[in-house]
Structure 1
Amino acid sequence: MEQLVVQLQAVGFSAYEAKAYTALVEAGRPLNGYEVAKRSGVPRSTVYEVLGKLAARRAAYEVADESDSVSYVPLSPAMLTSRFRSNMDHVVNSLESGFDLLSTPAQARLTHAISGRPDLLDRCQDVIRAARTDIFVSVWPEELDVLRTDLRRATDQGVDVSVLCFGDPGEPIGYSYQHEFSSPDQVLDNVGCRLMVVAGDRERAVIGGLDGSDTWGTYTDDAAVVAVSVEYVRHDIAMQLLMRRTSGDESIQEYWRTAKELMRLRSDHGEPAERLRQMAKARGRR
């Protein structure tokens, strides 16, 4: 019940209104002011004022019995939450329209550093939720689990979603692919961290690295960096599809393992992550 009171306050109820409303719902029958005060902890001196405010919100209604004694019943929680959702959608739509009128061509591009896994994933969710046309994601299972709900919602809204996962992606989301030709352990050894990319609408991207307790990353809407991020994911997906098609060809497998040209590209074990760490530390000292 305490959590419900907190959540109702988050959508505009006062603490007393939230307590009175939850008491009405919990009772399952009409309550008079004395009963609401007793059940909710709202002071008797103010309970009728609080119930009046709930009635004004149309979150509760007065009912009278044969003796004309006034009691109160709540608007059903299903209808209340539906009303909140509708009101919030209206507010958000109005904000979008208003900001569209204010928008002017950007004079500068935004790029900022991110530290800490929660902040990194929050920024990834921002990019996913803002996307309207396409999303490209290169990710590891641990982080995909956090982003899954938002990615699923994006696909349901018609956004074209492409996901490349370094490990089992679980239930497919949009166009999902597992990085198969190099194992996750090999990739981790080569890169030195769980490198991830989330790009939305080819307008904004988050690039991050996670290694144990260390997390660092960057958000950007710089068109050049976003383009490179998208092409990185697209190219990696294309490589996986080609390798999957030729997986039975031993000569290709042998070439991948032993070709000097490819071995040279894999020779800097952990160096990409180490450079990212140094950059993150340098930012932290500023």
Structure 2
Amino acid sequence: MKVDMIEILKDLNFTEYEAKTYLALLEKSPLSGYAISLHSGVPRSKIYEVLGGLVERGEVMVSHENPALYTPLPPNELINLKKCKAETSFEVAEDALEQYSYVALNRENIWNITGYEPILNRTKEAIKQATGRILLEIWNEDVEKISEELEAAAKRGVEILIVSYGNLVLDFAQVYQHDASEEITNEYGGRWIVLSVDDREVVAGIVSLGEDSRAAWTMHPGLVMPITEVIIHDLYIYEILKKHRDTLESSFGPNLIKLRNRFKSGPSGYSVAAKLGLIK
């Protein structure tokens, strides 16, 4: 049976003109563009465009003389090049499709998570998905549980900004210590975690109630946007205090405690912490 080399090369994503050009060069090379056109049957008006594509893909090599001469990549090297490109394309497609499916499946849902360990496990998985930026509010005693995932994300080039409750030092993240950490801890008697990944996915909830800890995980834009803005707002406050602390504290007390006291309870005086069951 006669082997149709043009069709074989077309199966390797060559156009018909590219296949004719490559085969002409296998038969005789190096050749000028004009000579390749004569030997391959590719029109002179098209040959340099065809050669440019083959050179750009690394399937044909060109000399820097006048006129330029062309020679083909040896068949075994061509096949290895095609295999490597195909494998890379499959890997990229697999990752992209998995991510697309992950987002599409969860975009409209709000999932409830119960228990300290399940909440942290969900947090870890969200961090593993990060590609651009992680915003996080967390207490010192909880961050060590997810530090491995955070560091791995930083090594991938992900920007990590953390609002910490307590004196936290991480060399792979930008850490902003909340000025009212002690007051908040005393006021609530509990801890929470708020995570935003790539402004696309959030985990937020109370983590200090053991098996009764509660959190929500979602990609719903109606929650992702405001929760992300809550963390960004705290970063604003940190930067404003750093620049204008004396002026602000003269009006609102140390660490703006007068503002906290003003808004920490509702009209009835019943505190948010009590409503959440963090204090009795």
**Percent identity among equivalent residues?**
19
Deviation at 1:199, TM superposition (A): 0.9
Q: How is 1:144-159 mapped onto 2 (pairs within 5 angstroms)?
A: 144-159=143-158
- Structure 1 match to 2:236: 238
Quick check: 1:167–1:179 contact (8 Å CA) kept in 2?
Answer: yes
Q: Given the alignment of the two structures, is residue 210 of structure 1 paired with residue 217 of structure 2, yes or no?
A: no
Question: Per the alignment, do residues 118 and 107 of structure 1 end up closer, same or farther by CA in structure 2, a change over 3 Å counting?
Answer: closer
- Give the Cα–Cα distance (whole angstroms) in 1 for the partners of residues 224 and 102 of structure 2: 21
Cα distance in 2 between the residues matched to 1:160 and 1:276 = 32
**Paired amino acid for 2:249:** Q
Q: Is the 8 A contact 1:191 1:271 kept in 2?
A: no
Counterpart CA distance in 1 for 2:252 and 2:217 is: 33
CA-CA distance at 1:179 after TM superposition: 0.9
1:246 aligns to what SS in structure 2?
helix
Equivalent runs, 1:74-223 vs 2, <5 Å: 95-99=94-98, 109-180=108-179, 182=180, 184-213=181-210, 214-223=212-221
The amino acid that maps onto 1:143 is D
How far apart are the structure 2 equivalents of 1:241 and 1:222? 29
What is the rounded CA distance, in whole Å, between the counterparts of 1:201 and 1:127 in structure 2? 10
1:115/1:101 CA distance change after superposition, 3 Å? closer
Cα contact 1:191–1:270 (8 A) shared by 2? no
Q: Letter of the 1:116 partner, please give it.
A: G
Change (3 A) 1:246 1:225: same
CA contact (8 A) 2:130 2:158 kept: yes
Separation in 2, partners of 1:131, 1:150: 10
Distance in 2 separating the partners of 1:153 and 1:178: 22
CA distance in 2, matches of 1:105, 1:266: 38
Return the offset for 1:166: 0.6
Contact 1:163–1:173 at 8 Å: present in 2 too? Answer: no
Residue aligning to 1:253 = 249
Aligned residues: 186
Mark the CA change 1:228 to 1:192 in structure 2 (over 3 Å): closer, same or farther. Answer: farther
- Which residue does the alignment assign to 2:60? none
The 3-state SS of whatever aligns with 1:162 is strand
TM-score normalised to structure 1 length: 0.56
CA contact (8 A) 1:128 1:151 kept: yes
Give the letter for the 1:239 counterpart. Answer: I
Tell me the secondary structure at the aligned position of residue 218 of structure 1: strand
Q: Distance in 2 between matches of 1:271 and 1:133?
A: 37
Residues 202/177 of structure 1: CA separation in 2 closer, same or farther (3 Å cut)? same
Per the alignment, residue 272 of structure 1 pairs with 272
Root-mean-square deviation (CA), in Å?
3.3
SS in 2 for 1:165: strand
Q: Distance in 2 between matches of 1:104 and 1:148?
A: 24
How far apart are residue 212 of structure 1 and its match? 4.6
- Taking a change above 3 Å as real, the CA distance of residues 123 and 277 of structure 1, as seen in their structure-2 partners, is farther
Shift in Å, 1:100: 6.3
Given residue 139 of structure 1, which amino acid in structure 2 is its aligned partner?
I
Q: Is the 8 A contact 1:138 1:196 kept in 2?
A: yes
How far apart are residue 103 of structure 1 and its match? 8.0
Q: 1:172 to 1:266 in 2, by over 3 A?
A: farther
Q: Secondary structure at the match of 2:145?
A: helix
1:242 Cα offset (Å): 1.3
1:271 to partner: Cα distance: 3.5
Contact kept? 1:136, 1:163, Cα under 8 Å? yes
Equivalent-residue separation in structure 1 for 2:93 and 2:221 (angstroms): 28
Separation in structure 2 between the aligned mates of residue 270 and residue 185 of structure 1, nearest angstrom: 21
For the 8 Å contact 2:107–2:219, the answer to whether it is kept is no
